[in-house]
Amino acid sequence: MHRPPGHRTQSEIDEQTTLGAAYVRSLMRSQLRAGLTAFGVLALTAATLPLFFGALGRPVVVWTVLGFGCYPVLVLIAWWYVRRAERNERDFARLVQGAESSPASDGAASASDAAPASDGTEGR
């Protein structure tokens, strides 16, 4: 699927250098952001639905929404999240390999710039 990871960046992550930690932190941040977005949609829906049902007072609506309508929505949120999480991991793998392929002398410096930068683009 992609090239085997480069030795240099790989060992940085393994050995817990500051740079390696920064890499992992940026991955965690982007994954957590994807997770919180999906969870936020779920929590907001779950929090407002009981109030909505109470105000509406029509059992038929409750039957339809909770009995049938909500399951496709749950699967859709899950599907979106998995796509997002896998993309984050692909981007991260590309970043780690990209750092390795650049000249050895400034490889570390460009990678340390790239880690927060990729994190910033993720939010848009």
DSSP 24-51: HHHHHHHHHHHHHHHHHHHHHHHHHHHH
Cα separation, 26 vs 120, whole angstroms:
9
3-state secondary structure of 2: coil
Alpha-carbon span 110 to 103, nearest angstrom: 10
Contact letters (x/-) for other proteins, 66-85, by CB under 8 A? xxx-xxx-xx-xxx-xx--x
Q: Binding of other proteins at residue 93 (CB under 8 A)?
A: yes
Nearest distance in Å: CB 112, other proteins: 16
Q: Would you tell me which residues interact with other proteins (CB under 8 A)?
A: 1-2, 5, 10, 13-14, 16, 20-21, 24, 27-28, 31-32, 35, 38-39, 42, 46-47, 50-51, 53-54, 59, 62-63, 66-68, 70-72, 74-75, 77-79, 81-82, 85-86, 89, 92-93, 96
